[in-house]
Structure 1
Amino acid sequence: MTLRGTIKTISMAPPHPSLQVTASDGAVWQVDLGNPRQTSNSGFTGNTAKPGDAITVLGNRNRDASKPHMKAVRITIAGRNYDMYPERITN
């Protein structure tokens, strides 16, 4: 799925860095990034973005569709892609 919104919070704490993203409908999504090494290797750090920045997240939604939660495969901020799992991106 693709989620577009603005970053509400950024956490780089283990076990997985994560973001809270406010979607256009006002729903706040939990977006888990890769493990710390994958996230770092993607080029994303705690200083890459800030709350209020626009973001697009390509990833896998929680199997329970009632939960606004997803695992990011790629995040895009200011036109730059940060690929957490590049092997999962087909286009």
Structure 2
Amino acid sequence: MKRLALSVLLLSLPAAVPAHHGWAWTTGKNIEIAGRVVEAKLGNPHGVVILDVQGARWTVEVGQPWRNERAGLKDRDFAAGVRLRIAGEPSADPKARLIKAERIFIGDRRFDLYPERD
């Protein structure tokens, strides 16, 4: 019985990972949000930035370290208090307040994380 339970658990794990990563969880349409960085956790498999958008907290998936670097972003660009405008695909669940960034704007600077999607 323990083997069966372990097998079921192990078989279910790979299916759970693709459900979040990639684009399948998004709406497939772009929106823009703007706000100030509350906190950022950068790294693999991708960075996560919490943005205060008019009093609501949004979770923004930014790129992997290599993708951010390729776009010209520095870790300091995600420091608390920095104002960002994000263009990207939101979660299909509107209550999630989650968006996968395709482009990041800081002032008049534009950073394309996924130029291959343009």
- TM tier, shorter chain? 0.7 to 0.9
* Aligned sequence identity (%): 27
Q: Retained in 2: the 8 A contact 1:11–1:46?
A: no
In structure 2, distance between residues paired with 1:48 and 1:57 = 13
User: Paired residue for 1:35?
Assistant: 64
Alpha carbons of structure 1 residues 49 and 33: separation in structure 2 relative to 1, 3 Å: closer
Tell me the C-alpha RMSD between the 2 structures: 1.2
Q: After TM superposition, list the pairs within 5 Å mapping 1:1-91 onto structure 2.
A: 1-24=31-54, 26-89=55-118
Which moves more between the two structures, 45-54 or 3-12?
Answer: 45-54
More strand by share: 1
Which stretch of structure 1 is more off in the superposition, 40-49 or 3-12? 40-49
Distance in 1, Cα, partners of 2:78 & 2:66: 18
- 2:74 and 2:47 mapped to 1: Cα distance? 9
One-letter code aligned to 1:52: G
Separation (CA, whole Å) in 1 of partners of 2:45 and 2:73: 16
Runs of 4+ in 1 over 2 A off after TM superposition: none
Select the structure of larger CA radius of gyration: 2
Number of matched pairs = 88
More helix by share: 2
